[in-house]
Amino acid sequence: MTDQASKLRTLARAELPESTLFHSRVMAITSGKGGVGKTNVVAGLAMSLANIGQRVVVLDADFGLANIDILLGLTPTHTLEHVLRGEKLLEEILLDGPNGIKVIPASSGIQEMTQLDAASELRLVQGLQRVSENQDWLLIDTAAGIHDSVLKLLMAAQEILLVTTPEPTSLVDAYAMVKVVHLRDPKKPIWLLVNNAQSETEAEETIEQLQAATLRFLGRELQVLGLIPADPFLLQAVRQQRGVVDVFPRSPAALAFRSIADLLKKKVPLQKGSFASFWKQLSLEES
């Protein structure tokens, strides 16, 4: 590594001055496998938090299948790829999403965030610090699975929201995710959300099965957020490239997202300098 790169990485890891620190929450939304509706959860939660007065920025960190902009009918002119190359500032690619949320769009196939060179890392760190100064939440839409790049993001975040469905394969992969995170940090807060549940009974059985496994083999209990019901209005919203909270605010899924947003606002503590701490921790995870 060159002297210049070393200096940049040191700057990226440095603590912000006390006067620039702000209170915020950083939550990474993930899943053990794909196809469980994780990005729909991110969108629904972001809009619901915005509806109760929270300022939210969403970072699309799924570089393999970046799609939250598509889900919400947004058309980015530029993406994180342009920021990492030094062609744009992060503020210049920020998208105004529904209900007042902000979206940082990714681009499929770009370099993994946790494999950035020092110059790209510094651009991203400084840019996110600037755009997040007036935000209450940073929601990170990670890729699915237990890939190393995903785990680094999860370990750097303040809290993890794990999305699963009642299908057996989804449950097995969700447990695998909990196990890997637990082995790295037994105290990392993990919230469990059952998506696409056909009934409360089915969701409760899903939660009980996963809780039983984590208690027996890991000696820990997950924090339960609840469920998002299977809802035809959600599918209609996806076809319209709209958020269900936006277009069908009284639908079962939208009401469930509202309840979850209320719970998270009450239960997830504000932390001073969370965004800066997140990027510092991510940088340390790369070492």
Query: What percent of the chain is modeled with pLDDT above 70?
Result: 82
Q: What's the confidence (pLDDT) of residue 277?
A: 67
Taking CA atoms, 100 is separated from 58, 143, 181, in Å, by 11, 24, 32
Query: Over the stretch 237-248, which tens digit does the pLDDT of each residue have?
Result: 999 999 999 999
Q: Identify the CA nearest to 196 among candidates 158, 159, 238, 154.
A: 238
Averaged pLDDT of the chain: 86
Q: What's the confidence (pLDDT) of residue 131?
A: 80
Q: How far apart are the C-alpha atoms of 87 and 165, rounded to whole Å?
A: 40
Span 68-81, average pLDDT: 91
Q: What's the confidence (pLDDT) of residue 104?
A: 93
Q: What's the confidence (pLDDT) of residue 153?
A: 84
Q: How far apart are the C-alpha atoms of 131 and 56, rounded to whole Å?
A: 11
Q: What's the confidence (pLDDT) of residue 5?
A: 46
Taking CA atoms, 36 is separated from 5, 169, 170, in Å, by 39, 11, 8
Query: Which domains occur in the chain, in start order?
Result: 22-286 (3.40.50.300)
Task: Supply the DSSP symbol for 137.
Answer: E
Q: What's the confidence (pLDDT) of residue 19?
A: 40
Query: Over the stretch 24-62, which tens digit does the pLDDT of each residue have?
Result: 788 999 999 899 999 999 999 999 999 999 999 999 988
Task: Supply the DSSP symbol for 105.
Answer: -
Q: What's the confidence (pLDDT) of residue 137?
A: 94
Burial call 230-248: b when 16+ CB within 10 Å, e when fewer: bbebbeebbeeebbbbbeb
Q: What's the confidence (pLDDT) of residue 129?
A: 76
Span 225-250, average pLDDT: 96
